[in-house]
Amino acid sequence: MTGPALELRDVEVVYERRGRERVRAVAGASLTVERGQIVGLVGESGCGKSSLARAAVGLVRPAAGSVLFEGREVTPLTRRARPRELARLQMVFQNPYSSLNPRRRVGSQLADALDALELAPRCGRRARVEELLGLVGLPAAAAARYPHQFSGGQRQRIAVARALAAEPSVLVLDEPLASLDASAQAQLANLLVDLSRRLSLSLLLISHDLAIVRHVADVVSVMYLGVMVERGPTQPLWSIPLHPYTEALIGAVPRPDGRGALPAALPGEVPDPARPPAACRFHPRCPYAFERCSRDDPVLLEVAPGRSAACWLQTGEEPPAPPAVQARRLSLVRAEE
Partner 1 sequence: MSALLEVDGLRVKLPTPTGFVTVVDGVDYQVEHAQVFGVAGESGSGKTISMLALLGLLPSGSVVEGRASFGGKDLLRLRNRELRAVAGREIGMVFQDPMTSLHPMLSIGRQLTDHVRRHLGLDREAAARRAEQLLEQVRIPDPASALRAYPHQFSGGMRQRIAIAIALACGPRLLIADEPTTALDVTVQAGILRLLDELRRERELSVILITHDLAVMSSIADRVSIFYAGRVVESGPRSEVLQHPRHPYTRALLDALPHPEAARDTPLIAIKGTPPTPQQVPSGCPYHPRCLFAVDVCATVDPPLAPVNGRRLACHVDPFR
**Distances 37 to 2, 51, 180, 286, 314 between C-alpha atoms, Å:** 14, 21, 24, 31, 27
Toward partner 1, which CB reaches closer, 65 or 233? 233
Residues between 268 and 307 with contacts to partner 1, criterion CB under 8 A: 269-270
Toward partner 1, which CB reaches closer, 127 or 264? 264
User: C-beta of 93: minimal distance to partner 1 in Å?
Assistant: 16
The answer to whether residue 159 forms part of the interface with partner 1 (CB under 8 A) is no
Q: Which residues pair with 40 in a beta bridge?
A: 205, 220
Query: How many chain residues bind partner 1 (CB under 8 A)?
Result: 47
Residues between 203 and 262 with contacts to partner 1, criterion CB under 8 A: 208-212, 214-215, 234-235, 238, 248-262
248: left (phi over 0), alpha (psi -120 to 50) or beta: alpha
User: What does 15-70 look like in DSSP terms, one character per residue?
Assistant: EEETTEEEEEEEEEEEEEE-TT-EEEEE--TTSSHHHHHHHHTTSS--SEEEEEET
Q: Cα separation of 237 and 247, whole Å?
A: 9
Alpha-helical segments (H) within the chain: 49-56, 96-99, 106-116, 122-135, 152-164, 182-198, 210-216, 234-239, 244-251, 323-336
Q: Cα separation of 214 and 109, whole Å?
A: 32
- Member of 1, 265, 332, 335 binding partner 1 (CB under 8 A): 265
The answer to whether residue 187 forms part of the interface with partner 1 (CB under 8 A) is yes
Toward partner 1, which CB reaches closer, 260 or 319? 260
User: C-beta of 148: minimal distance to partner 1 in Å?
Assistant: 12
Pairing of strands 38-42, 202-207: parallel
- Member of 36, 65, 76, 152 binding partner 1 (CB under 8 A): 152
The answer to whether residue 186 forms part of the interface with partner 1 (CB under 8 A) is yes
Residues between 33 and 52 with contacts to partner 1, criterion CB under 8 A: 44-46
Of 91, 45, 47, 44, nearest to 67 (Cα)?
Answer: 91
Query: Contact region for partner 1 (CB under 8 A) — 3-11, 49-57, 177-185, 196-204?
Result: 177-185
Toward partner 1, which CB reaches closer, 269 or 296? 269
**Binding footprint of partner 1 on the chain (CB under 8 A):** 44-46, 151-154, 181-187, 189-190, 208-212, 214-215, 234-235, 238, 248-266, 269-270
